[in-house]
Chains A and B, each alone.
Chain A
């Protein structure tokens, strides 16, 4: 359902100049699968997911969601995804019910269908006791539930959760993970980004470890364990990250002007240097 190929996003930044936030990232996610995007803060997870939700456009590369390209058919892509992120807040001066209903109507749902869907969602997510509470008066957990209901109102085949458990207490976070699992069982295609390893370990079918805009490695948990010969996932993660960082430092130290050694015998790098 989601295919990402050589996705790159660069920004111009005052401090760092041309900054590559996402660097040639490729992955794909299938129906009935939870894909975990794991990485420290600033790894580029949010940027990838923002590109998938068409809020940002990629600098280069292809991203295809539910059969639609994010650049050519962004409107159709947005119709087929639900996006929950800690950047997507809810309106202060709208009640839970109004909020979800508003987004349902933006999706062009008919009134009767929408009403039915809202009733099911509110029951399913146990939101009935605060359906008339305005956003400003909700707790973080309530807000997160409204966000999830908002993303699910049109029953999208693809759901994206970006750091969705951030700031939630253990109880609410647990509930959220349960909801996500049930969505997978319903055959949805899910992307779940986080920097918390235990969540990934418990939830995700496949994992990609991101650092500094690149995917360092990806696969199922057993695959990763075998490949790196490390049983403890946390050790594996840190090992991968520190090796990557170490290599960066070495490259910079041996070349004080900050340029990487260009290996002309390697076709990949020599192409890069010539272009």
Chain B
């Protein structure tokens, strides 16, 4: 009996692991299911194959039409073109003036022909205005008098054109070239007759050569456009299958069938994710491929291509690099789409949810399209954008640059992919996501629910809302501040006002109104007593590592000079103000306000429903964004991760406050410690041009000490398990009225 139960246990344990065969089975079914759907097939395969050739055909038609329509020009007053080199030769411009005579349709009239029945200026203007001709060259009677040509305005040759007509503008450009050639030949004639050496006029020859290899030149245009097209299609291609495979299945009731089959949630997610990714990639490849093929033909036909054109036909081989990038990015979009679609109860609802997702991810795709965005440490760390830029440099053949950034781009993309799949996976474990909703929503009912169902801590939704409120008010608050105050009182206001009014106030208000216990919802609990002194030590010993991080971040993303200049009075005031007030202002106030909001209220809400990971990461990111300046935000995010982890381990907000306070105190005090003349300071830091810096030895020792302290904290378990507290007990103990009766029966 014991043996069989052990065997059973073992079998049950292995039953919880995802099996490749089951994933493949689900994947194959989803693929077959989608391929049997006419709508999916049409949007993914048929549409792109037909769309681009049709558009190409249309383009070709239009191009042919514009080519058959030559520029028509009228010259009026030919009789006055005396005593000058020939401008016209029969029905054309004179030889050597225009390079493509047959594209110009030239008519000329004598002044007297028109002047005999109407006003010349009015008549010719009307021609251009109504489009009978694209351009009129008017040679006035005064032109005939060679003494007036150079001095009198009346004698000038007039070009009548219409800025609203593209044809007219093209005609103007062409005629300008013709006329300046005419003028040039005229000058040369004059100089030649007066005996000037013609070589004097040309001191040097100019020849500009584009040294970019032909491949790069052609790729330049396509390497920008094609990834964009591909990514947009990869997104669209992921959305519709994702909606159908999750929200659609929920709507049709087949999801529950699958959930009660032996397939594990993990297997279901991986199978579905695989199917969505495949469709996303197929859509992208078919669209980009169809566009490439079509455009190769179309541009070849129109003749826009050729060696000098920026828009040559796309080089095919380098575009294969795109496929390398497509796999992870498609998977990323698919995982996001799957996670978002899981929240919808029907296909229709799913479409509402995916639009915001598209709006959020689109900037990442658009960013690399901005002129001047190139692959650098900074841009390579931005998700999607980095991958996009990497592919561009591969397509353009800059392999050396590309290889340098591959690890970073791969890391960032991998991290995003991991987080997205994790999110998708957690959505499938959440029964409120899979089975929730359905009830009627009403504002009054919701407000009543908020008040009636208050709990001791915030709910995750309330925590997210609090974070959003803080970040949005901070954003508008920053916009409201136009200039940096120059006196200390002003700076004190500038620093403390956002802290109290925009960070602490929302958190406290929400804690007061939405929860039953301010103390519990802000996580003000006494941790194990050893943690408090240790927190101060961590703040002190981690500061050198933190400054190192800050330095490397500002090296990777240099602070602009204007920003540094704008901060100058601020920094000056901080340096001159009394130490105690600076510590109060820059260390105590932020430590209390930010920690109570981020590691208190928001953390307390997010950590519930087993959201440990979510709580640490999301509060760190919110904390980072709240700092406003990019360089600070990055450092703060890392700091936030550490603070969040400590908050998780200790179950309290207090250690975070102490670490934050000590860290900030050290930041504003380094100068003063250095200049205090205290001998110990020389052991820890040395002064450089950029201010005091920690000695490398001390950085290593202190970091090790900090790690030791953190390891000790890691061994602690919080007194209250907040993560498991899905339903924190409410103060109004729920008493079921029927319970007493059931017992008395």
Contact = CB atoms under 8 A, between A and B. Distances in A.
Given A56-B431, A87-B253, A78 B261 contact: yes
Nearest to A105: B25
B16 A75 contact: yes
Interface of A: 10, 12-15, 17-18, 20, 23, 53-57, 59, 67-68, 72-76, 78-79, 81, 83, 85, 87-94, 102-103, 105-108, 147, 150, 212, 214, 244, 247-248, 251-252, 255, 258-263, 266, 268-269, 272-273, 275
Contact of B253 (A74, A88, A255): A88
Contacts of B734: 18
A103 B445 CA distance: 43
B738 A89 contact: no
Given A76-B15, A91-B254, A93-B33, A107 B262 contact: yes
A76 B254 contact: no
A87 B445 CA distance: 28
Contacts of B738: 212, 214, 244, 247-248, 251, 260
Contact of A106 (B16, B22, B254, B256): B22
A243 to B, nearest CB: 8
Contacts of A259: 735, 737
Given A14-B449, A85-B256, A259-B737, 20 more contacts: A14-B439, A18-B727, A54-B260, A57-B431, A73-B12, A76-B12, A79-B262, A83-B260, A88-B256, A90-B257, A91-B252, A93-B37, A214-B742, A244-B741, A248-B741, A251-B740, A259-B735, A262-B740, A269-B740, A273-B735
24 contacts: A14-B441, A15-B449, A17-B449, A17-B453, A18-B734, A55-B256, A55-B431, A73-B12, A75-B262, A83-B260, A85-B256, A87-B256, A89-B253, A91-B33, A94-B33, A106-B22, A106-B25, A106-B262, A252-B737, A258-B737, A260-B739, A260-B740, A266-B740, A269-B743
A79 B257 contact: no
B731 to A, nearest CB: 13
A67 to B, nearest CB: 7
A229 to B, nearest CB: 15
B525 to A, nearest CB: 22
A92 B743 CA distance: 49
Top 8 nearest A-B pairs (CB, nearest first) are A89-B253, A260-B737, A75-B15, A73-B12, A88-B257, A247-B741, A53-B260, A93-B36
A186 B500 CA distance: 72
Contacts of B36: 93
Contacts of A262: 735, 740
Contact of B743 (A89, A108, A150, A266): A266
Interface string B702-745: 00000000000000000000000001001001111111111111
Contacts, number: 144
A7 to B, nearest CB: 15
Contacts of B730: 18
A23 B21 CA distance: 39
Given A12-B453, A76-B15, A102 B260 contact: no
Contacts of A53: 260
Interface in B281-316: none
A222 to B, nearest CB: 21
Interface of B: 8, 11-12, 15-16, 19, 21-22, 25-26, 29, 32-33, 36-37, 252-254, 256-257, 259-264, 431, 435, 439-441, 445-446, 449, 452-453, 727, 730, 733-745
Contact of A107 (B37, B261, B445, B446): B261
A78 B25 contact: no
Q: Among B26, B29, B262, which residue has the most Cβ atoms of chain A within 10 A?
A: B262
B25 to A, nearest CB: 6
A92 B36 CA distance: 10
Contacts of B440: 15
Contacts of A20: 736
A247 B29 CA distance: 52
Q: Among A72, A88, A106, which residue has the most Cβ atoms of chain B within 10 A?
A: A106
Nearest to B264: A75
A150 to B, nearest CB: 7
Nearest to A88: B257
A29 B658 CA distance: 58
